[in-house]
């Protein structure tokens, strides 16, 4: 049996997305071409790889076996490219880094930029995902490394501390709640809330905790980013739940007040996670991030 790497990449994309259409988008092929490649792969293997339904596709038993081996081959190919990149002229290696909203918006941009400047042969994709999603992506080999909050599932992954973060209630300095010592979710329920877009990783995280607490907040406006949100808060519109680091870095921070959010889940430990046996290039990025954490006063566990 001779299976091409290209067909395996297409297969993995469809398996990851649960959809031939979405898989086609991920690998930049037409729907017809992707469907034809999958069917040809099934004929070559002699077994159906997917159960096709109205809501997408799911893996068959044979598909699950192939996915496990396809991921292992992809990991080996990435490691080979990474280690050989230092020997070839102009050879580039691509790393995939996932992060939650707090890490992506506040700590990673400068750190990652400095890493790229120091490693001209490394390309990098940086994606914003919820912590649980990012951990799953690393485990499933859709990402090489991630920075996530402590509530994620770290089963099967390596982990090191990165930063400490906490969620606060942000209000204008002139807001009636600005003088509060601390606030619970119930305290801000009557208020108008400014929120990030519904599909934002932080917003999905908050939505889950609100549902568990049985608290429903009135969202006055949704905005695309934390800086936009902070600037609107500074004008006196509503309140917001944001990472404290985002508030501290905002251009209007002197016009805002951070009130502690008295919920057990508001205090968060951010961690770097990765799989066993990182490639040489991934190890370099990992050490770079760990050095950044050490400079911030966070020391790896021994």
- 152 and 283 in a single domain? The answer is yes
Give pTM, 2 decimals. Answer: 0.64
Do the domain assignments include residue 240? yes
Judged against a pLDDT cut of 60, whether residue 297 lies above it is answered with no
pLDDT reported for residue 83:
66
Question: What CATH number does residue 49 fall under?
Answer: 1.10.10.10
Do the domain assignments include residue 153? yes
- 232 and 97 in a single domain? The answer is no
Do the domain assignments include residue 176? yes
Do the domain assignments include residue 33? yes
pLDDT reported for residue 104:
86
pLDDT reported for residue 284:
92
- 189 and 252 in a single domain? The answer is yes
The residue assigned the tokens 């905790």 is 209
**Band of residue 298 on the pLDDT scale cut at 50, 70, 90:** very low
What is the per-residue pLDDT across 44-72, written as a single tens digit (0 to 9) for each? 999 999 999 988 999 999 999 999 999 88
- 101 and 193 in a single domain? The answer is no
Do the domain assignments include residue 146? yes
Instruction: Say how far apart CA 246 and CA 186 lie, in whole Å.
Output: 23
Do the domain assignments include residue 301? no
What is the per-residue pLDDT across 208-226, written as a single tens digit (0 to 9) for each? 888 888 888 899 999 988 8
Quote the DSSP letter at residue 178: G
Nearest to 174, CA basis, from 254, 103, 115: 254
- 276 and 219 in a single domain? The answer is no
Do the domain assignments include residue 189? yes
What is the per-residue pLDDT across 250-272, written as a single tens digit (0 to 9) for each? 889 999 999 999 999 898 899 99
Question: What CATH number does residue 263 fall under?
Answer: 3.40.190.290
Tell me which of 50, 83, 116 is where a domain ends. 83
- 129 and 275 in a single domain? The answer is yes
Q: Which residues contact 175 (CB under 8 A, 6 or more apart)?
A: 236, 239, 257
Tell me if residue 277 falls in helix, strand or coil.
coil
Number of domains forming the structure of the chain: 3
Question: What CATH number does residue 102 fall under?
Answer: 3.40.190.10
Instruction: Say how far apart CA 6 and CA 28 lie, in whole Å.
Output: 12
Run of H or E residues at 268: strand 267-274
Instruction: Say how far apart CA 7 and CA 13 lie, in whole Å.
Output: 10
**Among 82-86, 143-147, 287-291, which is the least confidently predicted range?**
82-86
The answer to whether 269 touches 149, Cβ cutoff 8 Å, is: yes
Q: Whole domain around residue 98: which residue ranges?
A: 91-163+268-295
- 117 and 210 in a single domain? The answer is no
């Amino acid at each position: 049996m001779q299976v091409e790497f290209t067909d395996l990449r297409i297969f993995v994309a469809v398996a990851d997305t649960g959809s031939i259409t979405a898989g086609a988008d991920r690998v930049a092929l037409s729907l017809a071409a992707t469907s034809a490649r999958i069917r040809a792969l099934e004929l070559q293997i002699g077994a159906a790889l997917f159960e096709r339904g109205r809501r997408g596709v799911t893996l068959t038993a044979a598909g699950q076996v192939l996915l496990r081996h396809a991921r292992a081959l992809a990991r080996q190919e990435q490691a080979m490219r990474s280690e050989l990149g230092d020997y070839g002229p102009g050879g580039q290696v691509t790393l995939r880094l996932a992060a939650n909203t707090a890490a992506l918006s506040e700590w990673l941009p400068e750190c990652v930029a400095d890493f790229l400047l120091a490693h001209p042969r490394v390309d990098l994709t940086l994606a914003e995902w919820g912590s649980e999603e990012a951990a799953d992506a690393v485990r499933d080999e859709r990402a090489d490394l991630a920075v996530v909050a402590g509530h994620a599932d770290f089963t099967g992954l390596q982990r090191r501390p990165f930063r400490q973060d906490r969620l606060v209630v942000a209000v204008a300095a002139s807001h009636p709640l600005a003088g509060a010592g601390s606030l619970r979710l119930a305290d801000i329920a009557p208020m108008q809330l400014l929120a990030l877009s519904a599909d934002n990783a932080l917003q999905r995280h908050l939505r889950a905790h609100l549902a568990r607490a049985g608290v429903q907040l009135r969202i006055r406006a949704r905005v695309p980013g934390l800086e936009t949100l902070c600037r609107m808060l500074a004008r006196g519109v509503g309140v917001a739940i944001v990472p404290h680091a985002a508030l501290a870095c905002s251009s209007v921070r002197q016009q805002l007040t951070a009130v502690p959010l008295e919920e057990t889940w508001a205090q968060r430990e951010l961690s770097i996670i990765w799989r066993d046996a990182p490639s040489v290039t991934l190890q370099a990025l990992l050490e770079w991030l760990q050095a950044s954490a050490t400079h911030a006063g966070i020391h790896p566990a021994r």
